[in-house]
A and B are shown apart, each in its own frame.
Chain A
Amino acid sequence: MSDAAATLKSLPPSGGFSGSPFALWAKANLFPNWWSTVVTLVLAYLILKFGFGVLSWAFFNAVWTVENQDTEVCRQLKGVGACWALITEKYRFILFGTYPFQQHWRPTLVIGIFLALYGVSTVRSLWNYRLGVIWVAGLLSIGVLMWGGVFGLSYVEQERWGGLPITLMLATFGIALAFPLGILLALGRRSDMPAIKAICVAYIELIRGVPLISLLFMASVMLPLFLPEGLTIDKLLRAQVAIILFAGAYLAEVIRGGLQAIPKGQYEAADALGLSYWKKTGFIILPQALKIVIPPLVNTFIGMFKDTSLVVIIGIYDLLGAAKISTIEPAWRGFSVEAYVFVSIIYFVFCFAMSKYSQKVEVELSRSHKR
């Protein structure tokens, strides 16, 4: 490319192209010779055709509302225009599942509380006991809102919960509890004590070696068989535990990578100062190790967030599960693409926010630690 640009500069300016910087850029980068020109034109054709196709399906030819669930107009436009009427009709079902319709303000508020908790968690000046207090208060009010049965709220059994609150609960508790578990497992795997090391290695290898789906099945089908008569554990809680145990094993290996990157001298300096194992680990080793592994850590968090959708196989209707169910009625059958696009956008917003926030933290930390 730079050769082509150099040639270009040495040539006399040609025709109407000269002058405009964009024209010069385009000539140097898009049309420097005949085969680049061909590639540019072919790609431009494909992009325009595909792009226009998407736009006309999603916007120009889309059906936004229908009367009385009469989807005939949608069916006629199938493949040509999107049937967003599904979303305008069913968005409440997709977001909240079978939660009683009159009570939808409760899960709405729950989603709001979750978002507020994520928001305050990014405020550095609150990174102390206050954040803990805020989270406990937030989670308590989430529990009260979802279950009800107190303060004049009607009781809603857990089987009727669904949609986005389920996804956020599984992901939030999953990440919040799997993270410390992963740290302990990673430390244990590097321990000098043979028994602890063996237990951690066995746990990590065992859990990593099986699919999450099989763990969820075990939690939902097998676990109740082993429990004494009469004792039942909430299905959602069992799925939650399976997710935490599973993610903990993955996070352990990510964190171990960071621990291995810390120079031996850091351990020795901490030892020489007389710091105990836990103080050395907490003040010296982990802060540096976790900083190194922020990218793969967030990678795992994002993966976990999306993996929560697997709970649909044990009959918990999270966001994705509810979207799937929403097209089950005859009137809406065949419009699952629209439902999936809708929930994909929601998943994307959360995952992209995590990714952006982690980049910001990385930049801030490298600024304060280095220069």
Chain B
Amino acid sequence: MSATAPAAASRPMIELLNVNKWYGEFHVLRDINLTVERGQKIVVCGPSGSGKSTMIRCINRLEEHQQGQIIVEGVELTGDLRNIDAVRREVGMVFQQFNLFPHLTVLENLTLAPIWVRKMPKKEAEEMAMHYLKRVRIPEQALKYPGQLSGGQQQRVAIARSLCMKPKIMLFDEPTSALDPEMVKEVLDVMVELAREGMTMICVTHEMGFARAVADSVIFMDKGEIVESAPPTQFFANPKSDRTKLFLSQILGH
């Protein structure tokens, strides 16, 4: 599989084929098979420790898988650093803990990678950064430091920071779990907007309202396996597996 092969239009954006991963003795991902088409939105849910974060972190190689194949935009993730760089340029990621750079202003957080990875002139990068800050509705915070913003604002900055790299795929790793309840909506609104614009997205989240609104497919993971995968209407109305039913009763029960 060559890194330079043009991604055929027919190819899926992301393919995981029989992916296995262990932490020492612990088998964290078991025979994961997943295909994500261009523009698809996938929501991944499951109890903690089920391997859902690990799975999406394998997609941009923050974690290494030991068996199977992961192919992103026609590039297979192996130990080859060029392939990893190529994939990371196309895949944006938003973390539970925001992970903004606290010693840089919001604007510098947004322009750093475009300037140094995409080699964009500073002025152009700043204009683009302001454009995305407007889209996440906080242009007035551009010159502040992350520590001066609320959690919801920080997470929106983090989304804008990823978008500045013009990714084709966005990964969200529990983006609202560290937020106070009143700030969840402002972040979800931005994510819904992004979904409507056709971004390919994989979101690990327990926000079932979000899943109903935008997901093409909801995946339930448990003990490192994909237990169930279905469109949201079917997933919520008619779960097949007992484990899915139990999980849904736990998170929707109150």
Contacts and interface: CB of A to CB of B under 8 A. Distances in A.
Given A265-B99, A284-B101, A287-B103, A273 B117 contact: yes
A271 B61 CA distance: 9
Contact of A271 (B62, B101, B148): B62
A275 interface: yes
A371 B146 CA distance: 9
Contacts of A266: 99, 101
A370 interface: yes
B68 interface: no
B88 interface: yes
B161 A371 contact: no
Contacts of B148: 371
Interface string A329-364: 000000000000000000000000000000000000
Interface string A269-290: 1111111100100011001100
Interface bin, chain B: 20 to 34
Contact of B95 (A265, A276, A288, A371): A265
Contacts of B145: 368-371
Given A283-B116, A369-B103, A274 B95 contact: no
Interface residues of A, number: 22
A268 B148 CA distance: 22
Contacts, number: 70
Contacts of B99: 263, 265-266, 268-269
B147 A274 contact: no
A332 to B, nearest CB: 55
Given A272-B60, A273-B165, A370-B145, A291 B88 contact: no
A369 B116 contact: no
Contacts of A291: 103
Nearest to A368: B145
Contact of A275 (B93, B102, B116, B147): B116
Given A265-B97, A269-B95, A274-B85, A288 B102 contact: yes
Contacts of A370: 102, 145, 147
B129 to A, nearest CB: 13
A273 B162 CA distance: 7
Interface in B198-228: none
6 contacts: A268-B99, A269-B100, A271-B61, A272-B93, A369-B147, A371-B145
Interface of A: 263, 265-266, 268-276, 279, 283-284, 287-288, 291, 368-371
Interface of B: 60-62, 85, 88-89, 91-93, 95, 97, 99-103, 112-113, 116-117, 145, 147-148, 161-162, 165
Given A269-B101, A273-B112, A274-B117, 6 more contacts: A271-B60, A273-B113, A273-B117, A276-B85, A276-B117, A369-B102
